[in-house]
């Protein structure tokens, strides 16, 4: 299969729409008061799952490009990763504004007190580092360090569903399902992960 420049541009447009339309729908839901009996939790969970979906789709690009023999798909990874970061930031801001009413001290206290927030903030910081280092200019400056930094996406892919699991008090079936999907995504690149894990040992570190 081949994907020309016009086809790639169309795919990117569709991906942008796929991530932006749900946010527009969310705004409409707020304005029309159609988000159920607990709109605050609905908004927080919706955007959190949006970040998780974006992260999983980002990790799915490489296997799909290999299976379909469509290397051009790899050019969509940055777009998807940035959208995952956008949803994660919105998720945090909604939690901070609607749950904590912008009480920054309370945020620090909550993060220290609640393990699921520690995990979530760690994942968000990883996504922040990946987003900041995603431009080509920054990539060239970082050189080989860029790839080592971006390998942290695998850590984030495990932390985010764990954050989801620990944040719910019941109905753990759905977050467990997400964990299994992320483990499967890791298994698809098991050879690469084995090399990454063994590299410090080989280097004597």
Judge whether residue 6 has pLDDT over 80: yes
Radius of gyration of the chain (CA): 18
Residues 6+ apart with CB under 8 A from 34: 28
Q: Where are the domains of the chain?
A: 5-199
- Hey, CA dihedral for 124, 129, 130, 136, is it positive or negative? positive
Could you give the CA distance from residue 107 to residue 177 in angstroms, rounded to a whole number?
Answer: 29
Of 89, 91, 10, the C-alpha closest to 46 is: 91
Residues above pLDDT 70, as percent of the chain: 96
Q: Which of 72-81, 150-159, 176-185, 187-196 has the lowest mean pLDDT?
A: 187-196
Judge whether residue 186 has pLDDT over 90: yes
Q: Locate tokens 């908004």: which residue?
A: 43
Of 46, 51, 48, 49, the C-alpha closest to 25 is: 46
Judge whether residue 203 has pLDDT over 50: no
Could you give the CA distance from residue 101 to residue 105 in angstroms, rounded to a whole number?
Answer: 11
Chain segment 148-165, per-residue pLDDT in tens: 899 999 999 999 999 999
Chain segment 57-92, per-residue pLDDT in tens: 999 999 999 998 888 888 999 999 999 999 999 999
Evaluate whether 82 touches 135 at the Cβ level (below 8 Å).
no
Residues above pLDDT 90, as percent of the chain: 63
Chain segment 102-158, per-residue pLDDT in tens: 887 887 888 888 899 999 999 999 999 999 999 989 999 998 899 889 999 999 999
DSSP 84-141: HHHHHHHHHHHIIIIISTT-HHHHHHHHHH-HHHHHHHHHHHHHHHHHHT-SHHHHHH
């Amino acid at each position: 299969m081949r994907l020309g420049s016009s086809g790639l541009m169309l795919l990117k447009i569709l991906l942008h729409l796929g991530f932006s339309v749900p946010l527009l729908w969310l705004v409409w839901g707020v304005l029309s008061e159609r988000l159920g009996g607990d709109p605050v939790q609905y908004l927080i969970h919706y955007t959190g799952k949006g970040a998780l979906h974006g992260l999983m789709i980002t990790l799915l690009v490489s296997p799909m490009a290999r299976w379909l023999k469509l290397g051009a798909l790899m050019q969509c990874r940055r777009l998807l990763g940035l959208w995952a970061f956008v949803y994660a930031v919105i998720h945090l801001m909604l939690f901070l504004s609607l749950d904590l009413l912008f009480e920054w001290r309370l945020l620090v206290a909550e993060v220290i007190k609640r393990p699921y927030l520690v995990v979530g903030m760690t994942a968000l910081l990883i996504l922040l580092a990946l987003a900041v280092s995603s431009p080509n200019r920054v990539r060239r400056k970082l050189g080989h360090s860029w790839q080592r930094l971006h390998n942290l996406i695998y850590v984030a892919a495990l932390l985010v569903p764990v954050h989801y699991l620990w944040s719910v008090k019941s109905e753990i079936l759905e977050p467990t399902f997400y964990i299994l999907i992320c483990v499967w995504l890791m298994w698809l690149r098991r050879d690469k992960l084995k090399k990454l894990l063994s590299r410090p040992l080989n280097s004597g570190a």
